[in-house]
Structure 1
């Protein structure tokens, strides 16, 4: 009896995945718990273990193809006699049960995963009219979406019958319906990765589902810079990690969230969920886009613990070894565009969170202090918030509180 390997429930709004790599091939022996396939999501790569020992019988979704939670990835059998030869990794085709009398009328079904079939059905597309671009002619999610954008000649002919008697009007097709344009020799088409596609979709969703506003302030970084200059070498010697700016901002954000709890909340239908745990997401740049690992219980951690955890998580992101558990459940996010030289920007919310703080580059600027023009290292701060539950006055005062704590960080250090 074959044991199925399916895309696991990955939680945290993860729906679509891409098969990144098969570590076993049909005919290979596997032990229960062995990693058989690696999946890519928008947040992290996920290793799927063998649910039982035996031999990999079949692969249903090839490397580079998309799938959804619950889709069949492959099967495992108990004995090698049931396993297919490695040279024949054909995916089993889905067949509907038919009576013997009707068997000779049954047509071969196109190769496609259940999720791709569901998508085609939802879009009203005849999947039999699609020419698959995947391995072995398999129809992919992208093939279905391309069909929606560029209907086949057969579909165009069929649809034209219904309007044959109507006068022809000169119209310009909508951008979404335009066929993929031909590229010049100086251009190259590149398929978006699963992570990039989902990031793009979620950012657009955030724009459409939240009432986002951004408020700005500026912060004098003189005292933090002086503390890092004086204590930095001793801090690194004692804890084995540098004293960075992010630990100061993490501490300041937690302190401000305690004073303004609606910035540490989320909307659930018509309810507001207020959170009294402080799990701070720290945006880290990766090849495929920003990944936001989470510092859990940041209110209970020292400067050294925060810096160590940020360093460890950032390394995992860049090495592509971050786990889903390490990016789940943040209550507020900090992103630092300053490391790339950004002077000012408006960060986008990380749903379902209702607040995100943007840090920027530190620049020496002339400012007025007690009636005198002096040069100080200044940083612009940006707070984007969901105006549905966060009032403008609270957002402004929240950002002012962070500014005060950074400009006079003594209390932050005393608490640690």
Structure 2
């Protein structure tokens, strides 16, 4: 018998949500065959079966959020005994990593397993023993380190935390529950008779004929992160136009040779990514985070590239680390690889963590411009519009040029409009001065 637990998908991940079971109870599974799909605060991925056998029990339903290390299923190998575990039994004080006897962590299927037991910290003292049945206390509440840390940051007392209604497995309070409580408290009018949440006059009341669609797990995370981002940072956006004539000429004359040489396409996103990273070397306050009354400048540019998932249209942002060390070929190869892995659900939490600046390209969908929301805790994000041929004035004459609009949303605490427009001007200078010879770009 092999116990399958919610895997540890990164050091900062405390819980995960099962979004889809790819097998049902009674199905025979092969080793490393995808078993279920999970989503965390960082990434969506498939979890493979650690061994071949029969999926005997599914203990956590689709849509449920549970702590790392929680038992979610049981696989019985041929001739093995079946152990029945009820979802209501909760998390044991010491969680088995789920590795079968003799199976090491580096063998197939084991890379998704928890590397160590999930730590659960109880906030209540053990009650004194009593022979009086009426004196027996109610079961104590216990909370994961992520929940406690979130509560501490939000100024939530232990007593208040213990009263929250949990949405996790077995009624456990999750990190998301605490964040939602903090958000509700922040938006509650300061009246004694007020209820949590926005005023009723701002809430739509569904009517007959309306169709209700439940948000996907990814959409819930996007809504959560974007709501918090607009509350944390004062957003402002600077917009400029850029003549993409040299970029278009370069892609037309050298694009095929470039792709054949580096096995990755030469695109507008690749060219803008390189120009952006060069400009960030001069404007370091845009590659930073705000901590209290300090602006923390980052030593490297970890460039996030927003990728649209084809089946849902939702976005995920994998990160190119130390982007300042990349050549043009390096940018092209990294963007291609991350996009392919994102669309095939093969990203790891490390692939989407640690970004310092984000690049998003709604122009591939025909958008002229936009005002993207910051990807916290970053202080800037660059949006690219579609490259469209337009009449422009050059040397007092009207001509047709391919033009792209660039919009930089920035945290007004870290920077101001002058620096934002200077940064965009520098990016534009790099793009309008691109070489058009293949030999030059291979060395870039």
| Alignment TM class, shorter chain as reference | 0.7 to 0.9
Question: TM-score scaled by structure 2?
Answer: 0.68
What's the counterpart of residue 339 of structure 1? 364
| Shift in alpha-carbon separation, 1:176–1:10, aligned structure 2, 3 A | farther
Q: 2:89 aligns with which of 92, 95, 98?
A: 92
What's the counterpart of residue 323 of structure 1? 348
How many residues were matched structurally? 381
1:413 equivalent to 2:436? Answer no
Q: What's the offset of the Cα at 1:341?
A: 0.8
Equivalent positions of 1:126-275 (< 5 A) are 184=208, 186-275=209-298
- Judge conservation of contact 1:337–1:358 (CA < 8 Å) in 2: yes
Q: What's the offset of the Cα at 1:15?
A: 5.7
Partner Cα separation in structure 2 for residue 18 and residue 367 of structure 1: 51
| Shift in alpha-carbon separation, 1:330–1:80, aligned structure 2, 3 A | same
| Shift in alpha-carbon separation, 1:122–1:37, aligned structure 2, 3 A | farther
- Judge conservation of contact 1:264–1:331 (CA < 8 Å) in 2: yes
- Judge conservation of contact 1:359–1:380 (CA < 8 Å) in 2: yes
Q: Compute the RMSD of aligned alpha carbons.
A: 4.8
What's the counterpart of residue 306 of structure 1? 331
1:8 equivalent to 2:36? Answer no
- Judge conservation of contact 1:67–1:113 (CA < 8 Å) in 2: no
Q: 1:392 aligns with which of 417, 423, 428?
A: 417
Structure 1, unaligned stretches of length 5 or more? 149-162, 164-168
Q: 1:373 aligns with which of 374, 390, 398?
A: 398
Give the structure with the higher percent helix.
1
Partner Cα separation in structure 2 for residue 41 and residue 173 of structure 1: 26
| Shift in alpha-carbon separation, 1:113–1:183, aligned structure 2, 3 A | farther
1:72 equivalent to 2:95? Answer no
| Shift in alpha-carbon separation, 1:209–1:74, aligned structure 2, 3 A | same
What's the counterpart of residue 362 of structure 1? 387
SS at 1:278 equivalent: coil
| Shift in alpha-carbon separation, 1:93–1:44, aligned structure 2, 3 A | closer
What's the counterpart of residue 38 of structure 2? 39
Q: 1:350 aligns with which of 375, 389, 402?
A: 375
- Judge conservation of contact 1:21–1:37 (CA < 8 Å) in 2: yes
Partner Cα separation in structure 2 for residue 252 and residue 363 of structure 1: 20
Partner Cα separation in structure 2 for residue 307 and residue 243 of structure 1: 6
1:289 equivalent to 2:317? Answer no
Partner Cα separation in structure 1 for residue 55 and residue 400 of structure 2: 67
Larger Rg, first or second structure (1 or 2): 1
| Shift in alpha-carbon separation, 1:6–1:266, aligned structure 2, 3 A | same
| Shift in alpha-carbon separation, 1:55–1:83, aligned structure 2, 3 A | farther
Partner Cα separation in structure 2 for residue 221 and residue 74 of structure 1: 52
| Shift in alpha-carbon separation, 1:47–1:10, aligned structure 2, 3 A | farther
Range 57-66 or range 300-309, more displaced: 57-66
- Judge conservation of contact 2:10–2:350 (CA < 8 Å) in 1: no
Structure 2, unaligned stretches of length 5 or more? 93-125, 152-157, 182-191
What's the counterpart of residue 382 of structure 1? 407
SS at 1:352 equivalent: coil
SS at 2:420 equivalent: helix
Question: TM-score scaled by structure 1?
Answer: 0.73
